[in-house]
Amino acid sequence: MKIAVLGTGYVGLVSSAVFAEIGHQVIGLDIDKSKISQLKKGRVPIYEPGLETLLQKHLNSGRLIFTTDYAQAIKDAELIFICVGTPPKPDGSYDSKYVYSAAKSIAGHLTQYAVIVIKSTVPPSTTNEVRKIIQANTSVAFDLASTPEFLREGSAVNDALHPARIILGVESSKAETWLRKAHHQLSAPILVTTPASAQLIKYASNAMLATKISFINAMAILCDKIGADIKAVTRGLGLDPRIGQSFLNAGLGYGGSCFPKDTWALIAYAKSLGYDFNFLKQVDQVNNDQIDYFISKIKSAYPDGIKGKVLTILGLAFKPNTDDQREARSTILINKLKKLGVIIHAYDPVIKTEFSDPYMALINADGLVLVTEWQEFNDLNFTRIKRSMKQPIIFDGRNFFNPGKLRKLKFQYFGIGRQ
Ligand SMILES: NC(=O)c1ccc[n+]([C@@H]2O[C@H](COP(=O)([O-])OP(=O)(O)OC[C@H]3O[C@@H](n4cnc5c(N)ncnc54)[C@H](O)[C@@H]3O)[C@@H](O)[C@H]2O)c1
């Protein structure tokens, strides 16, 4: 099929490459000229494993091209996927301006019937607004649909090629048929529903995952209070097949471009409907408090105060295998520590800092603070690290290291909910 993908960020770029991989003719569009000029040369402006190879494969196969020209992208497209950003506004509600602007641009260039699909994460009220904008700017017939995206940064290509489910929110049988055809190569269960339900499925999924994380973080605080082990509690809890193990790792809490903003957007959307989503506010609150809780642990390790201490942050990305720092826990933590007078050294495997490796970043440090559990941190030589640090203290914000092993090396170890 002929597919236009609007917005070539994490979702749009991966979707473009994957639609090309499964046999479609794809045109990716962005308003960011420098991004498009890099993509045309086969360079991926983000870090996402496997993406550059797939991109180059389909630039070569001719199934994927890029443009900044709406007329070129829209004129032959049968399916138009809106994948633009939906960042939060200061009040937590989502900023619709990119989606509405894309809708207006589509309408201005529509020459034949197309199915316009909102893939960006948006509240259900958006569909009608988008419809109004398009109808006000064209007389060409179209259908609206919604196919929320569930890929995870860091494994986005694999997730998009092997999704756990495909949600088709449609208003006509023609849109359903075309969207089924677009996804026919993917072997995942397909759920056909309305756009509103599809959009709520997306928000509910992220809110549920955020809830699991905040729940286990609250349990970890109880573990700290009585000397219990959150790892054992989680293992035991997760052996219940009704609960499972996933998303129950106590730590610094969730960040990233989705969980925080989608949680806030759902709270704001509920409010607009007259419902106080107090439950989700608490999930968000626990997540915010977790940083302060961790800082209180850091403070407790320095009886002479933390002002002037050098702390080395390992991991800046909001999670491993990405370079995305949106709402990263590292940023919030670092800002708070700096306000307390801490001197920050930082290292991340893909985000450039003044240090070229973790060992350099740890020289003369008063503490190591693990924020993002990149696998390479598991292979660190702690004997070497201990020799170069000023004080051998480790704050493990992801319960990632083996405390027994570190204590044997005479490190002081602080995890979350574990001794
Ligand atoms: N990043 C994820 O892991 C993820 C996962 C699932 C869903 N989502 C959702 O997908 C959407 C996109 O997220 P993202 O992380 O890819 O965002 P992003 O910020 O990485 O990319 C958005 C892109 O849209 C472009 N853009 C803005 N306005 C435009 C317009 N009018 N026309 C064309 N392009 C325009 C921007 O230049 C940018 O390149 C969001 O709603 C997000 O919540 C993201």
CB 148 within 8 A of CB 193: no
3-class state of residue 90 by DSSP: coil
Q: What is the pLDDT of residue 115?
A: 98
CB 55 within 8 A of CB 45: no
pTM, 2 dp? 0.96
Q: What is the pLDDT of residue 311?
A: 98
Rounded Cα–Cα distance for residues 69 and 62 (Å): 18
Rounded Cα–Cα distance for residues 50 and 158 (Å): 8
Does the C-beta of 153 come closer than 6 Å to ligand 1? Answer: yes
Q: What is the pLDDT of residue 29?
A: 98
Q: What is the pLDDT of residue 108?
A: 97
Start-end of H helices in 258-277 = 259-272
Q: How many CB atoms are located within 10 Å of the residue 354 CB?
A: 9
What does residue 413 show for φ and ψ, rounded to 5 degrees?
A: -120, 130
What residues form DSSP beta bridges with 81?
A: 5, 117
Does the C-beta of 260 come closer than 6 Å to ligand 1? Answer: no
Which candidate in 258, 351, 362, 389 is catalytic? 258
**How far is ligand 1, taken at its centre, from the CA of residue 280, in Å?**
24
Is 258 an active-site residue?
yes
Q: Return the closest-CA partner of residue 328 out of 260, 377, 281.
A: 260
pLDDT tens-digit profile of 7-51? 999 999 999 999 999 999 999 999 999 999 999 999 999 999 999
**How far is ligand 1, taken at its centre, from the CA of residue 404, in Å?**
43
Q: What is the pLDDT of residue 419?
A: 85
Rounded Cα–Cα distance for residues 216 and 283 (Å): 11
Instruction: Divide the 419 residues of the chain into consecutive groups of 10 and give the mean pLDDT of each group.
Output: 98 98 98 98 94 97 98 98 97 97 98 98 97 98 98 96 98 98 96 98 98 98 98 97 96 97 98 98 98 98 98 97 96 98 98 97 98 97 98 98 98 96
Q: What is the pLDDT of residue 397?
A: 98
Does the C-beta of 12 come closer than 6 Å to ligand 1? Answer: yes
Secondary element (H or E) of residue 74 = helix 70-74
Q: Return the closest-CA partner of residue 352 out of 325, 328, 379.
A: 325
